[in-house]
Amino acid sequence: MEPRPTTDSPTGSAAARTTIQLISYGPSDFQEREIDDITQLPSYLKQPDLVHWLNVDRVDDVAMIQRIGALFGLHPLALEDVHHVYQRSKVEEYDGYLFLVVRMAATEEDSLVTEQLSMFLRQNCVITFQEGRPGDCLGAVRDRIRRANPQTRRSGADFLMYLLLDASIDSYYSPLEQLGERLDVLEEIAEAPRARGMIGELHAIRRNLLTLRRAIWPLRDAITGLLRSDHAILQAETRFHLRDCQDHTVQLIDLSETFRELCSDLRELQYANINQRTNDVMRVLTIISTIFMPLSFIASVYGMNFNTDASPWSMPELGWPYGYITVLGLMATISVVMMITFWRWGWIGRQSDLK
């Protein structure tokens, strides 16, 4: 379970490992800096015609977060949400800035994990806080800025926010595709006689879909909220692109719900197959038992040691010339009758079905 958002959470292990990166750009400018000393930050932000993106990787250093918050005039409750890392995706409007929480997806040892990305959007800067997992899905955005993509360079901080949001949403496609492929594989082997691992695999996939669902439904609500918001900081062109983001989240939800249904269907299919196979196994057992039990019984009867000399009523068959032949014939008759009965009931005749 993810940690509960407590009011007094541990301060984290090592403030030294928090990395802060500042990217500043304009139509023709581009600077990328690692910030070691946070006191230098104000001097870097002085150029009002540039867009600044301050990315903080790790949120366990509360003091650091509060200093950055103070620098940009951010509300303490929002900073608490930054620090307490399991938050649902949401959008909150503050005076002069927007606060967004979204969750980025990644695959870690076959399971889908999500990482919180907290974003503040101010007039000409975006401040992002990542939970601190290694790697992120924002490389594409950085490359776009570095490669001087004209639309990106000319647009304001709200467009940067859109790009980050879009990259976060895009991060769900690849894990979802992997789940889809795993389902395809399962579907192919569902009919195989001993698809034993399938039950566990299906359970694992469902768990991942559950995680995904918890992350993506609130995301859709958050984006819808953003679209309806009339906060001055969002420009018309950006709103237009946000509509595209919304389309993508709806598509992700669609797809994951489809996968969930498919999981259920495969599970049912698997149950039916197990039951069918149990039925088949039972039928083999019953056929064999039903044929051999009467035969063995007959043989046992003639294995009894009644003294044929003591009385003419004591197993006289044993001395008959054709006694043995008759008994064998009786046994053969019983077998054939049984076989025909089973064939009529449809129990045999398609032995190749039995697997």
Q: Which stretch binds a second copy (CB under 8 A): 11-19, 34-42, 116-124, 281-289?
A: 281-289
Q: Which of 11, 47, 111, 314 binds a second copy (CB under 8 A)?
A: 314
According to DSSP, the β-strands at 30-35 and 111-121 are unpaired
Q: Edge-to-edge strands of the sheet including 90-94?
A: 30-35, 19-25, 51-57, 125-130, 111-121, 97-108, 90-94
Q: How far apart are CA 164 and CA 144, in angstroms?
A: 11
Q: How far is CA 270 from the centre of its chain?
A: 20
Q: Which is closer to a second copy, CB of 276 or CB of 333?
A: 276
Binding characters for a second copy, 14-53, by CB under 8 A (x = yes): ----------------------------------------
Q: Which is closer to a second copy, CB of 125 or CB of 167?
A: 167
Q: How far apart are CA 92 and CA 233, in angstroms?
A: 13
Select from 128, 131, 137, 141 the least CA-distant residue to 175.
137
343 binds a second copy (CB under 8 A): no
Residues within window 49-88 making contact with a second copy, judged by CB under 8 A: 77, 86-88
Q: Which stretch binds a second copy (CB under 8 A): 35-43, 59-67, 121-129, 205-213?
A: 205-213
Select from 2, 212, 17 the least CA-distant residue to 130.
17
Q: Which of 66, 133, 251, 339 binds a second copy (CB under 8 A)?
A: 251
Q: Which stretch binds a second copy (CB under 8 A): 27-35, 49-57, 102-110, 255-263?
A: 255-263
Kind and range of the H or E run holding 221: helix 198-228
Binding characters for a second copy, 164-183, by CB under 8 A (x = yes): ------x--xx-xx--xx--
Q: Which is closer to a second copy, CB of 15 or CB of 325?
A: 325
Q: How far is CA 196 from the centre of its chain?
A: 20
Binding characters for a second copy, 133-152, by CB under 8 A (x = yes): --------------------
Q: What interhelical angle do 76-83 and 62-72 show, nearest 10?
A: 140
Q: How far is CA 310 from the centre of its chain?
A: 81
Collapsing DSSP to helix, strand or coil, 190 comes out as coil
246 binds a second copy (CB under 8 A): no
Q: Which stretch binds a second copy (CB under 8 A): 10-18, 121-129, 153-161, 258-266?
A: 258-266
| Span between the terminal Cα atoms of the chain, in Å | 42
